[in-house]
Chains A and B, each alone.
Chain A
Amino acid sequence: DTAVSQTPKYLVTQMGNDKSIKCEQNLGHDTMYWYKQDSKKFLKIMFSYNNKELIINETVPNRFSPKSPDKAHLNLHINSLELGDSAVYFCASKQMATGELFFGEGSRLTVL
């Protein structure tokens, strides 16, 4: 069983469209994250969601909106996609006892 799963794995779309990436974890963790990884492999935190409390990174444009229907899911919705949004987006959940993050396999978004 995959601990943290993301869908879709690949997403190609046009500028201006709206798209969503879904994330689910079956580890029972309370805290989940979205990270963005650019072409140089640099990882940037976007959002943290801990037991219904959303912590927003102020550098993230408000076109990005996370949604958490329940503790096991943290989805990412992106409005009005731009070329610069092209990246790999990783979902992760945190094991509080050890601080370890468990990552999904990533969703590669390409905006044309």
Chain B
Amino acid sequence: GDSVTQMEGPVTLSEEAFLTINCTYTATGYPSLFWYVQYPGEGLQLLLKATKADDKGSNKGFEATYRKETTSFHLEKGSVQVSDSAVYFCALAQNNAGNMLTFGGGTRLMVKP
């Protein structure tokens, strides 16, 4: 079946540092790929997505590129802020009606001032 693997956290960075959170996937066909973010005490919310190979999703300074050849969707941000501290989830979904989203294990990011 489909699966998503993320780097284990926590990732601890100083403010303004460069962020990379690795994500690789195993899936048949051409799934859509997502990054969700969960701030403390809240539900998950969509951060960005890409629906086909070579697409780049971006939002709030975060970016991720859908790499079919390496089955990866790494999350990057050039300069993190304390407010970016959260748990980040990589996920994939097959483009079938009603199909479930498959999540990675989540990566906790802690940004120190």
Contacts and interface: CB of A to CB of B under 8 A. Distances in A.
Interface of A: 4, 30-31, 33, 40-43, 45, 48, 50-51, 53, 55, 90, 92, 94, 96, 98-101, 103-106
Contacts of B108: 41
Contact of A90 (B41, B43, B49, B106): B43
Nearest to A49: B98
B25 to A, nearest CB: 15
A105 B42 contact: yes
Interface class of chain B by DSSP: strand
Interface residues of B, number: 25
Given A41-B87, A41-B105, A101 B98 contact: no
A99 B93 contact: yes
A31 B34 contact: no
Nearest to B44: A103
Contacts of B97: 31, 50, 96
Contacts, number: 60
A47 B10 CA distance: 29
Interface in B65-109: 87, 89, 93, 95, 97-98, 100-103, 105-106, 108
A90 B32 CA distance: 21
A92 B32 CA distance: 18
A33 B91 CA distance: 15
B100 A90 contact: no
Kindly list the 9 A-B residue pairs having the minimum CB-CB distance in the complex, ordered from nearest: A103-B43, A50-B98, A41-B106, A43-B103, A103-B44, A105-B43, A99-B93, A99-B32, A45-B100
A5 to B, nearest CB: 10
Nearest to A51: B98
A49 B101 CA distance: 13
A99 B95 contact: yes
Given A41-B38, A42-B106, A99-B32, A48 B100 contact: yes
B26 interface: no
A55 B105 contact: no
Interface string B38-55: 100111111001010000
